[in-house]
């Protein structure tokens, strides 16, 4: 099965990871929240499947950085 990537749309800090490191998600589930310029931006799952989160809370991320994969 093909793995799909979930990329950051902004530069910021991972404020909160909302799912376990490996969890089954549905389309629209919030995977994590990124804080940028005092705003909290939720990152939703674009696909259903097994989500593997690749970042941790407090980690700085750049725009287009890989946050998670979904199989």
Quick: pLDDT tens for 4-27. Answer: 999 999 999 999 999 998 999 999
Instruction: Tell how far CA 65 is from the center of its chain.
Output: 10
Q: Is the pLDDT of residue 2 over 80?
A: no
Which fold is adopted by the domain 4-70? OB fold (Dihydrolipoamide Acetyltransferase, E2P) (2.40.50)
Mean pLDDT for all residues in the chain = 96
pLDDT in tens, 21-38: 899 999 999 999 999 999
Tokens 């404020």 found at: 15
CA distance 17 to 31: 6
Q: Tell me if the pTM is above 0.85.
A: yes
Per DSSP, what are the bridge partners of residue 44? 30
Tokens representing 22?
Answer: 């490996």
For residue 35, CA distances in Å to 1, 25, 42, 48, 59 come to 32, 22, 9, 24, 10
């Amino acid at each position: 099965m093909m793995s799909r990537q979930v990329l950051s749309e902004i530069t910021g800090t991972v404020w909160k990871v909302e799912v376990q490191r490996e969890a089954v998600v549905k389309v629209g589930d919030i995977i994590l929240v990124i804080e940028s310029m005092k705003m909290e931006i939720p990152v939703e799952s674009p696909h259903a499947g097994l989500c593997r989160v690749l970042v941790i809370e407090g980690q700085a991320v750049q725009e287009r950085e890989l946050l998670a994969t979904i199989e």
